[in-house]
Amino acid sequence: MIYPTKNDLISSNRKDIHIDLAKSKISRPHIEHPLDLISLPHNALPEMDFNDIDTSCSFLDKKLSFPFMITGMTGGTERGDNLNLAFAEVANQSGVALGLGSQRSSIAHGKSQNKIRKIAPNIPLIGNIGGVQLAQENGLDLAKAAVDDLEADALAIHLNPLQELIQIEGERNWCGVLNAIENAVKMLPCPILVKEVGAGISLPVAQKLQNVGVRYIDVACLAGTSWARIEAERLPRKQRDLYAPFLDWGCLITDILPKMRQSLENITIIGSGGLRDGLDLAKLLWLGCHLGGGASIILNSLETKRMEIRQEQLFNSLETIKEQLSIALFLTGMKLSDLIKNKLVKP
């Protein structure tokens, strides 16, 4: 049985504040976007018919219309649950994978999110809990409950030490997380996907995860949503100054993806952190990942500034990303599988 802690009570309210902050300007790191430094090789002789381009692929034994995942954001509050239902409907229609935000709070309050599975029967659904929570007493029960409730195809374990350190109510004891992940890999009925939330997973950490049996990693690097900046915004001024040097701390995706592809043979890598469009997705695939992922771009497409939900707008944004990926494939003269293979050669 998972009981709500004091932190769970605070965290429901915090989730909605996070959504607003994530949509605001302060949520971006103050660095040049690393993918702006990458250009794909132009091919003036593509030797293909644009209309024959196939972007479909498979992920977690299900078919996707293009290699993309909406990464976990929300759940547990009325607004969060409504967003998830809308994400689910559009993701199922568009044929992309969908991750949920942390399920800890809903499970602790006895609230089911299973409606999402009913709305999205055809796509991979990925549950979510924190690495620190997994390592705590009853962590494995929480993980099992998260998988059962969602009938999940995989469970994401998020690693967010930078965010937790800056967060007012954050968890500071990170001992035993790797062991807990190893145990979850053995005990859960579905694969474990380990993810960061915007500071990135470095090659040495990915190697440790591979050694304990993890087969899916979402790198979530520095360039997009900055949880350091979001949490710092919630702090009193004096404390904010303490963390000021760390606000843009993290790994760059352009540094880590090529190395990961060379060293991690058995891992499916999701490339994410600041994905802006289908050209970014093509660059990520070329650099070394199998799937791209995005959170804030999706949230901003779905929910207007006045908090109205626009499913059609999100559907169109996803279609645009897919179309832009096709354009990149045409202009490089590569099939999707070639683009992914070429990552071993370049850059």
Ligand X SMILES: Cc1cc2nc3c(=O)[nH]c(=O)nc-3n(C[C@H](O)[C@H](O)[C@H](O)COP(=O)(O)O)c2cc1C
User: Measured from the CB of residue 273, what is the shortest distance to ligand X in angstroms?
Assistant: 5
In the bound state with ligand X, the residue whose beta carbon lies nearer, of 94 and 225, is 225
In the bound state with ligand X, the residue whose beta carbon lies nearer, of 139 and 198, is 198
CA distance 69 to 110: 27
Which two structure tokens, joined as six digits, stand for 164? Answer: 């937790």
User: Measured from the CB of residue 214, what is the shortest distance to ligand X in angstroms?
Assistant: 15
User: Measured from the CB of residue 42, what is the shortest distance to ligand X in angstroms?
Assistant: 27
Cβ-Cβ contacts under 8 Å for 148 (sequence gap 6 or more): none
Quick one: 83 exposed, middle or buried, by C-beta within 10 A (0-12, 13-18, 19+)?
A: buried
Which two structure tokens, joined as six digits, stand for 83? Answer: 């967003």
User: Measured from the CB of residue 283, what is the shortest distance to ligand X in angstroms?
Assistant: 14
User: Measured from the CB of residue 133, what is the shortest distance to ligand X in angstroms?
Assistant: 11
Q: Which amino acid is at 169?
A: E
In the bound state with ligand X, the residue whose beta carbon lies nearer, of 30 and 237, is 30
Packing angle, helices 177-187 and 203-211, rounded to 10: 40
In the bound state with ligand X, the residue whose beta carbon lies nearer, of 71 and 301, is 71
In the bound state with ligand X, the residue whose beta carbon lies nearer, of 120 and 297, is 297
Positions touching ligand X (CB under 6 A) are 18-19, 22, 71-74, 101-102, 128, 156, 158, 195, 197-198, 220, 224-225, 272-275, 294-297, 299
In the bound state with ligand X, the residue whose beta carbon lies nearer, of 93 and 300, is 300
Name the closest residue to ligand X (Cβ): 224
Taking alpha carbons only, the member of 169, 211, 11, 164 closest to residue 101 is: 11
In the bound state with ligand X, the residue whose beta carbon lies nearer, of 55 and 74, is 74
User: Measured from the CB of residue 29, what is the shortest distance to ligand X in angstroms?
Assistant: 9
In the bound state with ligand X, the residue whose beta carbon lies nearer, of 18 and 290, is 18
Taking alpha carbons only, the member of 97, 100, 35 closest to residue 68 is: 97
User: Measured from the CB of residue 255, what is the shortest distance to ligand X in angstroms?
Assistant: 17
Angle at 198 between CA 146 and CA 200, to 5 degrees: 95
DSSP three-state, residue 24 = coil
DSSP string of 101-142? ---HHHHHTT---THHHHH-SSS-EEEEEEHHHHHSTTHHHH
User: Measured from the CB of residue 44, what is the shortest distance to ligand X in angstroms?
Assistant: 33
CA distance 113 to 84: 9
CA distance 255 to 112: 40
